[in-house]
Amino acid sequence: MDHPPLLPGPEDGRAEVTDLAPGPPRPMMADDVATGGPSSDDAPLTLAQPPALALGAATTTTTTTAPLSYVFTNHKAGMDAVDFDRVKRAVYEASVGSAHFKNEQRKEADLAARLDKLTARASRLSAAEVATATASTSGRVAELIATRDRGRIWCVVDMDAFFAAVEEKDDPALAGAPFAVGSTSMISTASYAARAHGIRSAMPGFVALKLLPTLRFVPPRFDRYVAEAASVRAVLARFDPAFHPAGLDEAYLNLTSYCAEHGKDGLAAAHDVRAAIRAATGLAASAGVAPNRMLAKVAADFGKPDGAFAVPSADPAALGAWIASLPCRKVPGIGRVAERTLASLGVRTCGDLHAARGLVALLFSRASADFFLAAGLGAGCDEEGGGGGGEGEPAAPSDTRRGMSAERTFAPTRHRGELEARVRSLSARLAAGCAAEGLAPRTLTLKLKLASFEVRSRATGLSGGAVAVAVAAAAAVREGG
C-alpha cells in the first residue's frame, strides 16, 4: 500500500477513450461559465456535463478562505447524521498551506470571476428579451412533456457501496465496521459505517483519518468486483435481456414487458430484481423506477440504501410537481460547479430552472439550453433499441455513453518504469471495460496530473478498437516525456 505524505499532492493518472459513436457536439462543460468555451484547467475527461447556470440579477461572488470545504460535503446515502461542519474543519486542517490547497484557491477565484461575468451578462438582458426567448421555447416544451412518459417502465439498479459490500462478503469480520476500500492516497468506496463519520468515495485517505483515526483501509481487488458484477448482470438479464450496464455497479433495465407478463407495477418488479440479486450474490441493491431513464436514475438515489423508490408517474400533475421540487444537483449531468453557480443565484430546483428557460436560452449554447430545458421538465432521452429505449433489441451503448475512463491516484514518484506500469494497468482495465460493453473507441486520451497540479495530456486516434487501447496508452506516456 502506498503511503503519501500527510499533505495533498499525489499524482493522478487517467486513461480515457472517447468518441465511442457518432453524436452531437458536446455541450459546454461545467467549467465553461462565462468563458464561451471549455476551460483549459482540469476540464473533465469523462462524460461531458452541461454548463453551470446563472439566473437573476447580477451578484458578487467572494472566494472562501477554505476552498476545499465544499468538496466532500454533498450528501450521499448513509450520511444523514453527519456533522458536515466537522468534515469541513478536517478537510481544511489536512490541506491548508499545501500545494493542493493553493491550487483550489486559484480555481475558486477563477470560478468566482467567471460567475461575476455571467451574472453581469444576465443583468444586461431586458425583460422583453427574456419574455421573447421564453415564448420561443413553447414548442420544444410541448415536445418534451409529450415524450417524458411513453408508457414504459424504466428501472435503474445501483449496487450499494459495491466494492465495500464485496469485501464484507469475503471477510464477514468487516460487517458493520468503518472501513474504506483504497489507501491513504484515495478512497474508492467507504462502508456505510464509515460514511456515518463523513468519510466517502473520492476523499483522500489522509483526510478520512482526520475524521476517524481508527479507519481501516482495505486494498481494492478489481478482479473480485468484476466477477461479482458478472453475477449481478446474469440476474439482470433474466428481467431485461437487453439491459444496459453503466459501470460495474449500475444498470438500466426496461421492465415494461416483465411487468405486463407478471401483472406487476414497476415498484413490485424492482423489488423482484433486488431480491433476485440478493439471492444470487448476497449483495444489496437499490432501485429507482420511472417512465424514463433519467428519472429512474434520480429515483434510485431516493431508494438508497437497500430499497426502491418509484416516481409518482400515474398522475401527470403529480409527476410535474415532483420534478419541479427536485434539487438541480439530482439531475444527472449537473455537477458541483453547476450546483454552486445555481445556488449563488437563487436557483435550486428543477422548477426554478424551467421558470428561467428564456434566460437560459439567451445565455448558453443551443445544446446546453436544450439540456437544461429537458432537465427542468424531467424529460429523459429514450432512443429506440432494447435497454436504450425499445424492447427486445440490443441496446446501443452510444445512446448514453460517449466515453469511458480509468484513473488512479498514487504517491508522488519520478520513477519512469513505475509510471509506465501504472499506465499499462489503467489501459488494460479500460480495454477490458470497452470489450465487456462492446464499445469501439476512436480516441484515447492520457492525462497526468503532477504533484505540482500541472496537468499534461496526450491524445491519439485508435483503429483497432479496445485491443488498441493498451498499446496506444503505453506509446502516449513515452511520447509525453
Closest residue by Cα to residue 275 from 166, 157, 153: 157
- Residue 437 annotated as catalytic: no
- Alpha-carbon span 90 to 392, nearest angstrom: 51
Strands (E), 4-161: 11-18, 154-159
The secondary structure of residue 456, as a DSSP letter, is: E
Kindly give, in sequence order, each residue whose CB lies less than 8 Å from that of residue 132, ignoring residues fewer than 6 positions away.
358
- Alpha-carbon span 65 to 431, nearest angstrom: 42
What is the Cβ-side half-sphere exposure of residue 28, based on CA atoms within 13 angstroms?
24
**Could you tell me whether strands 308-310 and 285-290 are parallel, antiparallel, or unpaired per DSSP bridges?**
parallel
**Could you tell me whether strands 443-449 and 455-461 are parallel, antiparallel, or unpaired per DSSP bridges?**
antiparallel
The secondary structure of residue 215, as a DSSP letter, is: -
Peptide bond into 305 cis (omega under 30): yes
Q: Are 288 and 155 in contact (CB under 8 A)?
A: yes
Residue linked to cell 502506498: 2
Q: Helix or strand or coil: residue 181?
A: strand
Amino acid (1-letter code) at residue 2: D
Q: Are 184 and 174 in contact (CB under 8 A)?
A: no
- Alpha-carbon span 397 to 246, nearest angstrom: 9
Q: Helix or strand or coil: residue 357?
A: helix
Q: Are 217 and 1 in contact (CB under 8 A)?
A: yes
- Alpha-carbon span 311 to 304, nearest angstrom: 14
Q: Are 347 and 56 in contact (CB under 8 A)?
A: yes
**From 228, 250, 339, 391, the catalytic residue:** 250
Positions marked catalytic: 250
